[in-house]
Structure 1
């Protein structure tokens, strides 16, 4: 098997050897075993499902969390000559979706959003295929996002059963033992080969800068950008702050091409920003967590967290976007007193309040008693109940799980509704406490006096590799004389053949 995989790697990618963990995961996949793979961010997880798609018959279905990530990977593969690949998501118009669905059997590799897998017609078409592998990319999102943000992740187990239980590959860059167990449980209690590798990256150094207010935070950020002058990503908890800070950077450092990116932008604008950053036309991105997952840019040298991350998993994922080429890179958290209140507020926003749950159930139950069993549209609902669309999706999933909702209809039965109310209030409170504990661990990391690398990865692995170069501020390292190990990013100067190829694959 290893010889065939080595030949495949050389033929399709031009590489002589696998990176850590890739070959072991691939051997499990090629034996049609359910597999969980945890590899550090930036170490080539996509090879673990792309190679089987290229090497053998049948379709590989890849569930991916971000639409821009799908589009980027499809474009990259087509540019390299792999034409039998497509993405099925809400970016596409009706005719484009229909065209892909009509030609599904012609694709070896199909990227699809978890929401699209709730479409009955899509499932019917997938059932007609020979699915050799069902992949859940960025699988930590099942545990982190699925519980309340994107509940369609929690329906993947049912999708897998409907598709006649194909071999499943779950891949992620960060997962505590608790999250690893959560992933396997939420995918249907699968018995999975586990290939878990250390998540720390020896070439990333960690620094925390405590500042007193936003003005000092901006001054520190600008000084870092001016000094390093390399590709950088700055993460924010607020869309508004991402936009306004991008304007501050452009005004103070006009030599650095800077843009903002968040989930409130038009799809086309987000794709454009991402492509410009990948091409080296932008050096600095001010963004929310919507940016960066799976973005394959090797020479990012600086990750700044303008706001405190809500948990270590997210932080590790975001920092992992730096130094994918092995060059020395830096993570800087800018922290001011009171910053921890921002993620607390976001946690409260994600989960519905007890009063809102009671009001919602009272409103829906009155409709059922009056004979209106069909689920109301969200637009009608918010005229009566102050609840966000995310909170509504979360509660709707829970009602389906407890048989309060079947299909598109509410079910009558006073005791069932009372039991559900008790159950959901306990569940929401448990989720809230869980998130606050994760935030507290992040806050403790910010204030730790021990090695930051050791403290960051202690929950994930037994040993942490020694840093190559600088380690962290608590180990006595500074950024005073730090110079990026890569050359300055230059604009692409491609020949006419490359330019023509790029145009043809748009």
Structure 2
């Protein structure tokens, strides 16, 4: 397809396709449903952007995060595409009204699963000729849909409402079970599946057992102040993101913190500062990272046992996008398994919550927002007993996922080999720097800190505006 290469070079500035890109794009142009599983940094955005220029109609991209949408919109604008918009809560009422009235003017429309339930927006979408629908970060359907964001599951009904349209599902990680969830929810018909090896040879894995939280803090301070970043420190606690950042800032590190309870404008500011190199380190919950375009991340540090191997692979996969050596380090104590399960279950509906939801109207009771949202969805579809059994199964699976991770880091088997095995893939060749189970010396990977880095000064309001609203 000469036309493909012409567009690739002229519009996107690339001389050749990466592995799998051309095959996937050809299937999209042939109007086939497609599931593409490629590691972070393999050019997933090109897969939905390029075919749009060879097909009539609008492309609707369903994305999980506001910051990710905004970043993708900006990336397209940098490439010279003006017919792009994100329909989300960033827009004021008046901006949203105008955007919906002018929806036919856009080639790329980014939105969220929740926004797809907006009646006015839906009516406008039905009047369009839709080339195809993209589910970006499609693993969120399975990871979040059943017990956190039920509007991901409602995508199935939405697809039926807009008529026959092909779907492209993109993600960096997915087990066979997750792929099945994606196929069912997105109403896919015999999709073409492209699954790239999830191995990232440039990322070495380091697992370190410590005795307590104080040792974790001491280790993190020692590592960050003595070695070069950029890097991300992942923790489960919003408070800890701020505690780590404050301690590192006192040591002269340019660092910021990031979590879901921050103002959206502050989160965007921190994300942009990190991407532009104004911050060397970010201390964050798992709310940070999706869609980050930063090629030179050298370190990922976890101070806890993640809730799943899939989630861990998503987070460490943000390192080494430039192909140069990086290291993913994980600190844990024997009690971290229980702590991770406790954190995971905080907003999880218990049997009593479910019974109350079925016996009362929501105006009569007080429940966590997440609990109310998810039980409203299942109450419309299952009876009380079925819902109780569903959440027992989900709870058991979450516990098993955490236990699988703990088993992986405690045994003597190569970490890289076990990570790939979880996704039914085989390790073909071990890199020179593999993992701490393979006698790897982290000191041989890390670059010593060569200069004193001053802590990031507080930005005044003019500087903040310049970053948020570039001219």
Partner of 2:460: none
Partner of 1:235: 234
CA 1:503/1:346 → structure 2, altered by over 3 Å: closer, same or farther?
A: closer
Counterpart Cα distance in 1 of 2:68 and 2:85? 12
Partner of 1:4: 3
Q: CA deviation at 1:228?
A: 2.3
Partner of 1:400: 380
Partner of 2:463: none
Partner of 1:458: 421
CA 1:329/1:87 → structure 2, altered by over 3 Å: closer, same or farther?
A: same
- 2:402 counterpart (420, 436, 439): 439
Check the 8 A contact 2:305/2:402 in 1, yes or no. Answer: no
Q: CA deviation at 1:468?
A: 3.8
Q: Secondary structure at the match of 1:224?
A: helix
Q: CA RMSD, aligned part only?
A: 2.2
Stretch deviating more after TM superposition (106-115 or 184-193): 184-193
2:421 equivalent to 1:421: no
Q: CA deviation at 1:505?
A: 5.8
Partner of 1:99: 98
Partner of 1:373: none
Check the 8 A contact 1:233/1:302 in 2, yes or no. Answer: yes
CA 1:77/1:485 → structure 2, altered by over 3 Å: closer, same or farther?
A: farther
Check the 8 A contact 1:347/1:432 in 2, yes or no. Answer: no
Bigger radius of gyration among the two: 1
Counterpart Cα distance in 2 of 1:156 and 1:21? 27
Check the 8 A contact 1:78/1:505 in 2, yes or no. Answer: no
Partner of 2:219: 220
2:267 equivalent to 1:270: yes
Unaligned runs of 5+ in 2: 455-465
Q: Secondary structure at the match of 2:193?
A: strand
CA 1:485/1:83 → structure 2, altered by over 3 Å: closer, same or farther?
A: farther
Q: Deviations over 1:275-312 (max 9, x none)?
A: 11110001111111111012111000100011210100
Counterpart Cα distance in 2 of 1:248 and 1:275? 22
Check the 8 A contact 2:227/2:449 in 1, yes or no. Answer: no
Q: CA deviation at 1:75?
A: 1.5
Check the 8 A contact 1:9/1:51 in 2, yes or no. Answer: yes
Partner of 1:40: 39
Q: Secondary structure at the match of 1:304?
A: strand
Q: CA deviation at 1:486?
A: 13
Q: Deviations over 1:234-279 (max 9, x none)?
A: 111111111111111111x21x210110110111011111111110
Counterpart Cα distance in 1 of 2:291 and 2:148? 19
Q: Secondary structure at the match of 1:441?
A: helix
Counterpart Cα distance in 2 of 1:457 and 1:76? 31
2:181 equivalent to 1:197: no
TM-score norm. by structure 1 comes to 0.87
Q: Deviations over 1:294-346 (max 9, x none)?
A: 21110001000112101000000000000001010100001112111122112
Check the 8 A contact 1:41/1:199 in 2, yes or no. Answer: no
Q: Secondary structure at the match of 1:330?
A: strand
Counterpart Cα distance in 2 of 1:350 and 1:183? 24
Aligned residues: 460
Partner of 2:59: 60
Q: Secondary structure at the match of 2:442?
A: coil
- 1:293 counterpart (290, 294, 308): 290
TM-score norm. by structure 2 comes to 0.93
Counterpart Cα distance in 1 of 2:298 and 2:343? 28
Partner of 2:356: 359
Q: CA deviation at 1:503?
A: 9.6
Unaligned runs of 5+ in 1: 365-375, 403-419, 492-500
Counterpart Cα distance in 2 of 1:486 and 1:99? 51
Partner of 1:495: none
